[in-house]
Amino acid sequence: MRQINADNILETIRMIEEENLDIRTITMGISLLDCADSDIDRSCQKIKKKITEKAKNLVSVAKEIQQEYGIPIINQRITVTPISLLLSASGGDPVKYAKALDEAAKEVGASFIGGYSALVQKGMTEAEKALILSIPRALSETDIVCASVNVGSSKAGINMDAVSLLGRVVKECATLTRDRNCIACSKLVIFCNAVEDNPFMAGGFHGISEPDCVINTGVSGPGVVRNAIRKAGKSASMDEIAEIIKKTAFKITRMGQLVGRQASERLNVPFGIVDLSLAPTPAVGDSVAHILEEIGLETCGGPGTTAALAMLNDAVKKGGVMASSSVGGLSGAFIPVSEDAGMISAAEKGVLSIEKLEAMTCVCSVGLDMVIIPGETSAETISAIIADEAAIGMVNTKTTACRLIPAIGRKPGEHLVFGGLMGEGPVMSVKQTDASVMINRGGRIPSPLHSLKN
């Protein structure tokens, strides 16, 4: 047996006890392609049966591992095949699928189920359009179902018809749940270059190139990274800091891989990927913004933020890739505003603006995430923000996303409180200029050239 060093043991315990290191999620991906049926009710029944069978032990196995290994596992989630594919076969009211997913996931005790999704980067079928239009009802009439739509990719360009539609969908989601803090919007992600094995919510779905059933894990640990940087002191150079982040990311990923493999063995389901994402929570000491401030910025969002974030994101990936041969998902640093104590306070101070967030999304995963915008923002302006963000992803061959929450009836500076992991945040101001002519043109932005890069 290899001798374990006492310092290493204490380091691990400190990471978990004091620095909020945890396994953010064990996510089971389940393919529903074999549940497709020409009758929507039969299709829903098959879905429920398959999910409740495959995931029946998901929560208990996670508890077991948590206890044996002494590592907190926060969420157990499920992702499924994009429902638009099943809807193509069955027709009917798509919300029936949302309700079936909601019931099945609740029955097995999962905290979220993702896959009320459509991939429409090149064009929309009737079923996909129907599903997108049903999202506001689906999300306001269910509790734990998450929806996502992929509107663009580097290979296909951006589907502006879908972008135009989604501006209205986002607005309607907010309006339908205006008395519940517009919560439906927090369960809808609009992607460019969506990944098929993302274990994180709300954008997770089980891609069609994935196996029948798979276990993916998502690890977190902004607090661990921040403390490691703090210990290095103020005189360490940027490459030294990058090295520290890399080593820390390595340790965190190894833990994620271990837990993922254990879960996959015990559930008898193949292991997919570890998503090493620095995913913040509103808890003190669990913030990505605070890492950037630890690197040496007075406030996140000021000049220097993009550079610091680029280094952080890259170093996290490098450490993760060394630790596991199956790193996947989004892997990087998340910058949701309402879920990150440091981001919230930077936005409140007025230092962090939507424009700066947009610049930050050029260098990190994943996008304008949990950004609360004024309720008066028009659907066209929301579409325009989505198009901007998708363009960044398309041109830079990376995943970008929008999870915007129009706070109906609220103005910039006012607050919206979701509670729990979703957090809270100030309404951020948006330039209310009119982009309706461009948005209403529809059509498609052609895919970009992949050579002559300057």
Partner 1 sequence: MRAVISVVGKDRTGILAFVATECAKRNINIVDVSQKTLQELFTMIMIVEIPEDKDSSAITELEQLGEQQALKIHVMHEDIFNAMHTI
**Cβ atoms of residues 75 and 25 within 8 Å:** yes
User: Mask of contacts with partner 1, 1-40, x by CB under 8 A?
Assistant: xx-xxx-xxxxxx---------------------------
**Cβ atoms of residues 263 and 62 within 8 Å:** yes
- Which lies closer to partner 1 via its Cβ, residue 37 or residue 64? 64
Number of residues located near partner 1, criterion CB under 8 A? 22
202 preceded by cis ω (within 30°)?
yes
Whole-angstrom distance, CA of residue 321 vs CA of residue 333: 14
- Which lies closer to partner 1 via its Cβ, residue 258 or residue 445? 258
- Which lies closer to partner 1 via its Cβ, residue 18 or residue 434? 18
Cβ atoms within 10 Å, residue 195 = 21
- Among 57, 60, 64, 168, indicate the residue that binds partner 1 (CB under 8 A): 64
Whole-angstrom distance, CA of residue 362 vs CA of residue 88: 35
Residues 342-401 that bind partner 1 (CB under 8 A): none
- Which lies closer to partner 1 via its Cβ, residue 70 or residue 419? 70
Minimal CA–CA distance to 278: which of 327, 334, 226, 329? 334
The CA R_g of the chain, rounded to the nearest whole Å, is 21
- Among 46, 50, 251, 403, indicate the residue that binds partner 1 (CB under 8 A): 251
**Smallest gap from residue 252 Cβ to partner 1 (A):** 8
- Among 59, 89, 258, 395, indicate the residue that binds partner 1 (CB under 8 A): 258
Q: Where are the beta strands (DSSP E) in 154-305?
A: 157-159, 188-192, 213-219, 271-278
Residues 65-94 that bind partner 1 (CB under 8 A): 67-71
Q: Does 209 participate in binding partner 1 (rule CB under 8 A)?
A: no
**Smallest gap from residue 69 Cβ to partner 1 (A):** 5
Buried-state track 45-81, b at ≥16 Cβ within 10 A, e below 16: ebbbebbeebbebbbebbeebbeeeebebbbbbbbbb
**Smallest gap from residue 5 Cβ to partner 1 (A):** 7
Phi-psi map region of 378: left, alpha, beta (phi>0 left; psi -120 to 50 alpha)? beta
- Among 80, 185, 189, 255, indicate the residue that binds partner 1 (CB under 8 A): 255
**Cβ atoms of residues 343 and 337 within 8 Å:** yes
**Smallest gap from residue 78 Cβ to partner 1 (A):** 24
**Smallest gap from residue 2 Cβ to partner 1 (A):** 6
- Which lies closer to partner 1 via its Cβ, residue 69 or residue 111? 69
**Smallest gap from residue 73 Cβ to partner 1 (A):** 13
* Token digits of residue 324: 């596991």
**Smallest gap from residue 277 Cβ to partner 1 (A):** 18
Whole-angstrom distance, CA of residue 289 vs CA of residue 343: 6
- Which lies closer to partner 1 via its Cβ, residue 3 or residue 237? 3
* Token digits of residue 68: 């044996």
**Cβ atoms of residues 185 and 146 within 8 Å:** no
Residues of this chain that bind partner 1 (CB under 8 A): 1-2, 4-6, 8-13, 64, 67-71, 251, 254-255, 257-258
